[in-house]
Amino acid sequence: MRITVNGEPMEVGGTVADLLEARTGDRRPSGVAVAVAEEIVPRDDWAERSLQDGDVVEIVTAVQGG
């Protein structure tokens, strides 16, 4: 299954939590938010929300900024 994560193509399956674990080593990292197809996926839904082929996923966190 092919999805786009933070602008880059990835071959993964499973849930949002699975994706976060693969990228950050944590299924429920703090200070992070996830959107799929421009819709926020609330933290409590990460473990249940399955990713679909073609999904565009954004994973963001806070960085220094004015």
Partner 1 sequence: MSVFKIAGRELSSRLLLGTGGLPNLALLPDVIAAAEPGMVTVSMRRTSSTAAGGLLETLRAAKVPILPNTAGCLSAREAVLTAQLAREALETDWVKLEVIGDETSLMPDAVELVEAAEQLVRKGFTVLPYATDDPVLARRLEDAGCAAVMPLGSPIGSGLGILNPHAIEAIVAAVDVPVVLDAGVGTASDAALAMELGCSAVLAATAVTRADDPVAMARALRLAVEAGHTARGAGRIPRQAVARASSPMEGRIA
Residues near partner 1 (CB under 8 A) are: 6-8, 23-24, 30-35, 38, 40, 42-43, 58-66
- Decide whether 24 or 50 has the Cβ nearer to partner 1: 24
Q: In the numeric block, which tokens belong to residue 54?
A: 């073609």
In contact, 11 and 55? CB cutoff 8 Å? no
- Decide whether 53 or 65 has the Cβ nearer to partner 1: 65
**Least gap, CB of 35 to partner 1 (angstroms):** 6
In contact, 22 and 46? CB cutoff 8 Å? no
The SS3 call for residue 23 is helix
